[in-house]
């Protein structure tokens, strides 16, 4: 689930619907996040400690807001004594952005593992970028974004990746 472009590659409508946020709330949340990012960038320029946002939480206060993810993030916190539900707000100003032609310049075989119900990374966007590139393969799974890291879906993703790697390394 490559986050090749955090702006064009996100399914914003699905993301807002999952979080239960309408257009007015989304606009206000976006302004709060942008304000936090600009404030944090200024703090960084002045050598001050970062201003943090939650990784998971309410719209306008966090990057991930889908209520269905609450248990995933609780498990992450419980399973890792060093994980903290925070990230420097300035990350929003430097989120990944895809530059046209990048995938065409890479010659190595690539496998893109996609989640069909992903609202964080649009599978339609990724498939559009790799369409017609002979060195790119797509393995799409009937799952949501974070499901690819857990359980049976994770095992299938790993099996796909191992098979892809074995074929790519086959010199016979």
Q: Tens of pLDDT along 123-146?
A: 899 999 999 999 999 999 999 888
From the number of C-beta atoms within 10 Å of its C-beta (0-12, 13-18, 19+), residue 66 rates as buried
Q: Which two tokens stand for residue 6?
A: 């955090």
The pLDDT confidence band at residue 171, using thresholds 50, 70 and 90, is low
65 pLDDT above the threshold of 60: yes
pLDDT above 90 as % of the chain: 48
Contacts of 129 by beta carbon, 8 Å cutoff, 6+ apart: 4, 98, 103
pLDDT value of residue 48 = 97
Range scoring the smallest mean pLDDT among 15-19, 59-63, 73-77, 138-142: 15-19
Identify whether the C-beta of residue 122 lies closer than 8 Å to the C-beta of residue 10.
yes
- Average pLDDT over all residues of the chain: 88
* Residue 156 binned pLDDT confidence (cut-offs 50, 70, 90): very high
């Amino acid at each position: 689930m490559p986050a090749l472009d955090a702006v064009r590659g996100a399914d914003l409508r699905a993301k807002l619907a999952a979080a239960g946020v309408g257009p007015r709330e989304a606009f206000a949340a976006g302004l709060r996040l942008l304000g936090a990012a600009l404030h944090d960038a200024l703090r960084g320029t002045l050598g001050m400690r970062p201003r943090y946002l939650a990784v998971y939480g309410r719209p306008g206060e966090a990057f991930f807001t889908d209520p269905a993810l609450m248990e995933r993030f609780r498990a992450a916190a419980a399973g890792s004594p060093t994980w903290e539900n925070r990230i420097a707000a300035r990350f929003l100003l430097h989120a990944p952005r895809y530059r046209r032609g990048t995938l065409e310049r890479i010659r190595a075989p690539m496998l893109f593992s996609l989640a069909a119900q992903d609202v964080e990374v649009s599978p339609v966007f990724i498939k559009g970028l790799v369409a017609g590139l002979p060195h790119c393969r797509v393995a799409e799974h009937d799952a949501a974004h974070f499901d690819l890291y857990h359980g049976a879906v994770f095992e299938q993703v790993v099996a796909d990746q191992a098979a892809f790697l074995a074929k790519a390394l086959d010199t016979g």
